[in-house]
Amino acid sequence: MRKIFTTKVKKIVLLIAIYTLSVAIAYGTATFYPNKFVIDRMNKDNENKMIAEWNKFGFQEPAMEYSNSKQFIEAVARCVDFINLGIEVEKRVPRDIIIAMAVLETGYGNSRFAHEANNLFGIRTWSPTTPQLKPKENPGAEWGVKKYKTKCVSVKDMVDIVNRHSAYEGFRIEREQQVKSGKVDIHKLIDQLSKWSTNPEYVDLVKNRADKIHEDLKNAK
Which pLDDT tens digit goes with each residue over 186-202?
999 999 999 999 999 99
Among residues 42, 92, 99, the alpha carbon closest in space to that of 70 is found at 99
Whether 34 and 72 have beta carbons less than 8 Å apart is answered as no
Residue range 69-220 forms a domain whose CATH class is: mainly alpha
CA angle, 76 as apex, 90 and 152 as ends, to 5°?
Answer: 80
Strand 124-125 and strand 144-146: pairing? antiparallel
pLDDT tens, residue by residue, 137-194: 999 999 999 999 999 999 999 999 999 999 999 999 999 999 999 999 999 999 999 9
pLDDT tens, residue by residue, 204-217: 999 999 999 999 88
**Sorting pLDDT into bands at 50, 70 and 90, what band is 11?**
low
**Sorting pLDDT into bands at 50, 70 and 90, what band is 36?**
very low
**Sorting pLDDT into bands at 50, 70 and 90, what band is 10?**
low
pTM of the model: 0.74
Q: What percent of the chain has pLDDT over 70?
A: 73
Q: How far apart (Å, rounded) are the C-alpha atoms in residues 29 and 27?
A: 6
